[in-house]
C-alpha cells in the first residue's frame, strides 16, 4: 500500500490499505486500524475525493487519540490541515497544523516538522502572504535535504501548484530573496515562522493555485466550462470515479477523461484534487 501510494497508484493502494484495515480490525489492533484509515485518507486526497479524505483522516484522528498514539494523531492532524486548505477552510487548517507541529516538536521528528512547514506555506500562500510562503517552502526543502527526505505524492503536486501561484505574485528577485532567506533558517527559526503564520488571521484575498484570485476572474473561469464539464466536475468532487461518472452521464470513460482534460486546461490545473478544490471553493460541489 505504501509503495503504491508513493508511486501515485491510488486505486491499487486503496485496495491494499482497505484489506489491511479489515485484518487489523479483526484482531483488535486499533493503532494500525488508525494508520490504515490515515493512509486511505491520503489516497482519497490523491484521487481528488476531498470529502472522503476528510472523513477517513477524521476517523484516524479520533481512533489514534483514543489509542494514545502520538504519531498517527499528529500525522492525521497534519493531513487534515492539507485537506482543509484544499477546501478553502484556512483557519481550520491552521488549527490542525498548529496542533500537529506541537506534537512533532515534542517527539522530535524533523522530517514531519518539514511536512508541516510545507503545509503551513500553502496556508500562507492562500492568505496572500507569498514571501512568507516561499520562505517556509525553502526552509522545509533545506531541512529535507539535510536529513535525506523529499516531498512525495500526492502532496508534492499540491505544493508545486502553490509554488507556481507564488511565482505569479512575486518578482523573480523577491522570490529568490525569500527563498534564500528560508533556506538559511535554522530549524528553530523555521518553526517560529510557521507558528507565527499559523497564529495569524487571514489578510488579503486568498491566492488559489492554478486559478486567478479575483472574483471576476474566477467567475470567468467557471463560465468557460460547458454545462457537461460542470456536471463532470460536480460528480468528481462528490467522490465519483471515472467509471461511475461515465455510467451516471451515459457516456464512455474516454469521454469522461476528455472532459477532465478540458476542465484542467480551462482552470489551469493538473490534478483531480485541484479540480475538486476549485469546485468546492466556487460552490460547484
Positive/negative CA dihedral, 84, 217, 223, 256: negative
End-to-end CA distance of the chain: 29
Instruction: CATH number of the domain at 53, please.
Output: 1.25.40
pLDDT class of 214 with cuts at 50, 70, 90? very low
Does the residue 207 lie in any domain?
no
The answer, yes or no, to whether residue 212 has pLDDT greater than 70, is no
Residue 38 in this model has a pLDDT that exceeds 80: yes
Pair 107, 170 in one domain = yes
Distance CA 221, CA 215 (A): 10
Note the pLDDT tens digit of each residue in 155-185.
Answer: 888 889 899 999 998 999 999 999 999 999 9
Look at residues 133, 130, 107, 112 and name the one whose alpha carbon lies nearest to residue 121. Answer: 133
CA distance to 117, 143, 187, 207, 228, per residue, from 191 (Å): 7, 11, 6, 23, 45
Q: Same domain, yes or no, for 95 and 131? A: yes
Residues 179 and 250 in one domain: no
Residue matched to cell numbers 460547458: 226
> What pLDDT is attached to residue 223?
67
Are residues 94 and 196 both part of a single domain? Answer: yes
Average pLDDT rounded to a whole number, residues 111-139: 94
Give the 3-state DSSP-derived string for 179-228, with helices as H, strands as E and coil as C.
Answer: HHHHHHCCHHHHHHHHHHHHCCCCCCCCCCCCCCCCHHHHHHHHHHCCHH
Q: Give Cβ neighbours of residue 111 (< 8 Å, ≥ 6 apart).
A: 143, 144, 147, 149
Peptide bond into 79 cis (omega under 30): no
| Predicted local confidence at residue 221, as pLDDT | 62
Mean pLDDT of the 109-115 span: 92
Place of cell 481512533: 63
Q: What is the mean pLDDT of residues 68-80?
A: 95
In whole numbers, what is the pLDDT of the chain averaged over residues?
Answer: 86
pLDDT digits (tens, 9 = 90+) for 234-273: 888 878 888 999 988 888 888 898 888 888 877 777 778 7
Q: Which band of pLDDT confidence, cut at 50, 70 and 90, is reported for residue 219?
A: low
Q: Is residue 92 pLDDT above 50, yes or no?
A: yes
Nearest CA to 47 out of 237, 280, 247, 257 is that of 237
Same-domain pairing of 93 and 191: yes
Tell me, yes or no, whether 35 lies in a domain: yes
**Mean pLDDT confidence for 183-195:** 92
Q: Which pLDDT belongs to residue 202?
A: 53
Q: Would the pTM count as exceeding 0.75?
A: no
Same domain assignment for residues 105 and 195: yes
* H helix count then E strand count, the chain: 16, 0
CA-closest candidate to residue 85, choices 242, 172, 197: 197
Q: Indicate if the pLDDT at residue 211 is higher than 70.
A: no
Please compute the mean of the pLDDT values over residues 71-91 and round it to a whole number: 93
The parent domain of residue 114 ranges over 89-202
Confidence class for position 276, pLDDT limits 50, 70, 90: confident
Confidence band, pLDDT 50/70/90 cuts, at residue 105: very high
pLDDT of res. 109: 87
**Statement: residue 282 has pLDDT above 80:** no
The structural domain count of the chain equals 3
Is residue 172 exposed (0-12), middle (13-18) or buried (19+ Cβ within 10 Å)?
A: exposed
Please state, for a pLDDT cut of 70, what percent of the chain lies above it.
Answer: 91
Residue 22 makes CB contacts below 8 A (sequence gap 6+) with: none
pLDDT of residue 148: 86
Domain membership of residue 208 (yes or no) is no
CA 54 and chain centroid, separation: 11
pLDDT at 280 over 80: no
Residue 196 lies in a domain: yes
Amino acid at each position: 500500500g505504501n509503495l503504491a501510494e508513493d508511486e501515485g497508484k491510488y486505486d491499487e493502494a486503496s485496495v491494499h490499505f482497505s484489506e489491511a484495515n479489515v485484518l487489523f480490525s479483526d484482531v483488535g489492533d486499533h493503532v494500525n486500524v488508525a494508520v490504515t484509515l490515515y493512509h486511505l485518507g491520503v489516497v482519497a486526497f490523491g484521487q481528488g475525493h476531498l470529502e472522503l479524505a476528510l472523513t477517513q483522516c477524521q476517523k484516524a484522528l479520533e481512533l489514534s487519540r483514543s489509542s494514545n498514539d502520538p504519531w498517527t494523531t499528529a500525522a492525521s492532524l497534519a493531513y487534515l490541515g492539507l485537506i482543509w486548505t484544499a477546501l478553502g477552510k484556512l483557519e481550520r487548517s491552521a488549527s490542525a497544523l498548529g496542533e500537529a507541529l506541537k506534537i512533532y516538536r515534542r517527539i522530535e521528528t524533523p522530517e514531519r516538522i518539514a511536512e508541516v512547514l510545507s503545509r503551513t506555506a500553502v496556508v500562507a500562500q492562500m492568505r496572500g502572504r507569498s514571501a512568507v510562503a516561499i520562505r517556509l517552502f525553502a526552509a522545509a526543502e533545506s531541512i529535507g535535504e539535510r536529513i535525506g527526505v523529499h516531498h512525495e505524492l500526492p502532496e508534492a503536486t499540491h505544493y508545486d501548484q502553490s509554488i507556481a501561484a507564488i511565482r505569479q505574485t512575486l518578482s523573480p528577485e523577491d522570490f529568490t530573496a525569500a527563498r534564500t532567506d528560508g533556506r538559511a533558517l535554522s530549524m528553530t527559526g523555521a518553526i517560529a515562522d510557521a507558528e507565527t503564520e499559523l497564529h495569524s488571521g487571514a489578510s488579503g484575498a486568498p491566492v488559489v493555485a492554478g486559478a486567478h484570485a479575483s472574483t471576476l476572474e474566477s467567475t470567468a473561469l467557471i463560465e468557460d466550462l460547458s454545462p457537461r464539464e460542470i456536471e463532470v466536475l460536480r460528480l468528481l468532487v462528490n467522490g465519483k470515479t471515472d467509471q461511475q461518472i461515465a455510467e451516471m452521464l451515459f457516456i464512455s470513460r474516454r469521454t469522461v477523461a476528455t472532459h477532465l482534460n478540458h476542465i484542467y486546461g480551462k482552470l489551469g490545473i493538473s490534478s483531480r484534487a485541484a479540480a475538486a478544490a476549485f469546485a468546492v471553493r466556487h460552490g460547484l460541489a
